[in-house]
A and B are shown apart, each in its own frame.
Chain A
Amino acid sequence: MRLYGVVMVGWFRRYATYRMATAAGVFTNTAFGFIMAYTYTALWDERPQLGGYDVSQAVTYVWLGQALLMACALMGGGFEDELIERIRTGDIATDLYRPADLQLWWLACDLGRAFFHLVGRGVIPMAIGAFAFDLTLPGSALTWIAFLVCVVLGLLVSFAIRFLVALSAFWLMDGSGMAQISWLAGMFFSGMLLPLTVFPGTLGEVARALPWSSVLQIPADVFLGKRTGWALAEAYAFQAGWALALLGAGRLLQTAATRRVVLQGG
């Protein structure tokens, strides 16, 4: 277990060294936050209480999205590019003979990265957003804690999906194809475009039931105090359920991939 802790800290530090890139990224997240906050304001001005949010909550949703965007690697930039590259070049064979578990190893890497992005790319845009707009911030420490737990569960789901995608490179010649499909699905179904509560009819129901809703929609609802008590427990159960199912699928795929590599003699 200590090993994975060290790996996680290592990846946190690795991203922390790119100060200029982080500053530039904060600038980008802030710029997009402003633009989207105005478009949401226009939308909610026309239809107050759309999707169960008032204007302030809708704008808060925008800034949460910008704060979580990098951490959950919705637009790429996670560990998966590196893993796909290792599979493509065959370096993966050496990883499989390591005493560390492949999935846990990469999970530690990705969490290290995600925690850095949460702090480095999340906090400042959120603070600027709170300064420039009237945001709905949690009133109690408990809500903050509930939100952070929710975010970590969302990160697990996000990792689990990307791990599956990366492993598909064992069977598909060009792993980037799968990565792109998953990227598109993530963009659309996470609620990054618009809150999933605004998606109409069946599309909305489907979107809210898919794993990607764990990444932004559910944490945002917890943050906005829409889910407390039983509803909060339900949210956790939903996220944990998807995380377990997808991580489990990852394990199966990993076993199959290992067998494949061993059969091919590395």
Chain B
Amino acid sequence: MPSPEPLAVEPAGRSTATRSVELDAFPTRTRLSTLTDGLRAYGMIAAMWIRSTMTYRASFVMTTVTSFVVTAFDFIAILLMFTHVDALGGYQLGEIAFLYGAAATSFGLADLLVGSTERLGRRVRDGTLDTLLVRPAPVLAQVAADRFALRRLGRITQGLLVLGYGLGTVHVEWTLLNLLMVPMMLVSGALIFAAVFVAGGSFQFWAQDAAEVQNAITYGGNTLLQYPPTVFAKDLVRGVTFVVPLAFVNWLPALAVLDRPYPLDLPHWFAYLPPVVAVLCCWLALLAWRAGLRSYRSTGS
């Protein structure tokens, strides 16, 4: 069995023979140690970037505020719309704020954690990816932590504020299940968006200039999910339910909380699938990443 290359990290000093035996016998353990190694490297590199950012404190404050304001524009546009109407696609402002806040927060978290993967194409082009490949840490962790940008907290703050407004406005019976749905939605949503970021980054191993394709799906998806699904054509809704399963970020769970029908005729339990979908997406994204890295290492470009 070929080792899961970019992920395999082993303590140094063991002979090749024992290692390969171990790999076959305990693949799960290897994967686990890869995960912890990745998280550890991620933490160290992110901390270095935070310290680098703090050497330009004024600029940091400025960019964080900008990030907050520019993302808030999306909601301001919705507020402006609601100066003319009472409902959009059959949804009240509070309900839309709930959808918006959930999407924006999930997206903000994913952007903060792995948004830097969109810079992969640049690193491939200028050859600096190679400097990451000679380090004893998973490349994905290093790329994701690259230029870790704390200013993205501006986006998350904005999302949380709108979410708070939405939660305070909608008329929902807050059963325990509904209460649990909110954090479940945010975490699963962040993972789904993160998977899309990583998959889009992987695509840049082949197409270095294609960062904007990733943007269309990540940023575009975020904008899409800020509105109720009733606004969009059925085919588009089908696409983001079954092809790029963004609908599981907020639409399906949030509509269940709001007790609203989903435009597609789906069983009720689909609303509880986000964690499953998230795990599946992350797994696929990792496969894409590994395929991309393997291709890079065999073509070198």
A contacts, CB < 8 Å to B = 18, 20-21, 23-25, 27-28, 30-32, 34-36, 38-39, 41-43, 46-47, 50, 174, 176-177, 180-181, 183-184, 187-188, 193-194, 198-200
> Contact at A42–B73, with CB atoms within 8 Å?
no
Bound complex: CA A46 to CA B82 (Å): 11
Bound complex: CA A81 to CA B38 (Å): 35
Nearest neighbor of B226 in chain A, beta-carbon distance: A39
B70 CB contact (under 8 Å) in A20, A27, A184: A184
> Contact at A20–B210, with CB atoms within 8 Å?
yes
Nearest neighbor of B233 in chain A, beta-carbon distance: A38
User: Known contacts A42-B88, A194-B77; is A177 also within 8 Å of B62 by CB?
Assistant: yes
Bound complex: CA A244 to CA B232 (Å): 43
14 additional contacts, CB 8 Å, given A24-B207, A39-B231? A27-B216, A28-B213, A28-B215, A30-B216, A35-B223, A43-B84, A187-B70, A187-B73, A188-B73, A188-B76, A193-B73, A193-B80, A198-B80, A200-B80
Q: Which of B84, B217, B236 has the most CB of A within 10 A?
A: B84
Residues of B within 8 A of A184 (CB): 66, 69-70, 73
Q: How far is the CB of A160 from chain B (nearest CB, A)?
A: 22
In the assembled complex, B262 has its CB within 8 A of some CB on chain A: no
> Contact at B212–A42, with CB atoms within 8 Å?
no
A20 CB contact (under 8 Å) in B84, B87, B209, B223: B209
Bound complex: CA A47 to CA B88 (Å): 10
Nearest neighbor of B67 in chain A, beta-carbon distance: A180
Interface residues of B, dominant DSSP: helix
Residues of B within 8 A of A41 (CB): 231
Residues of B within 8 A of A21 (CB): 209-212
> Contact at A194–B211, with CB atoms within 8 Å?
no
Q: How far is the CB of A42 from chain B (nearest CB, A)?
A: 4
Bound complex: CA A194 to CA B85 (Å): 14
Nearest neighbor of B222 in chain A, beta-carbon distance: A35
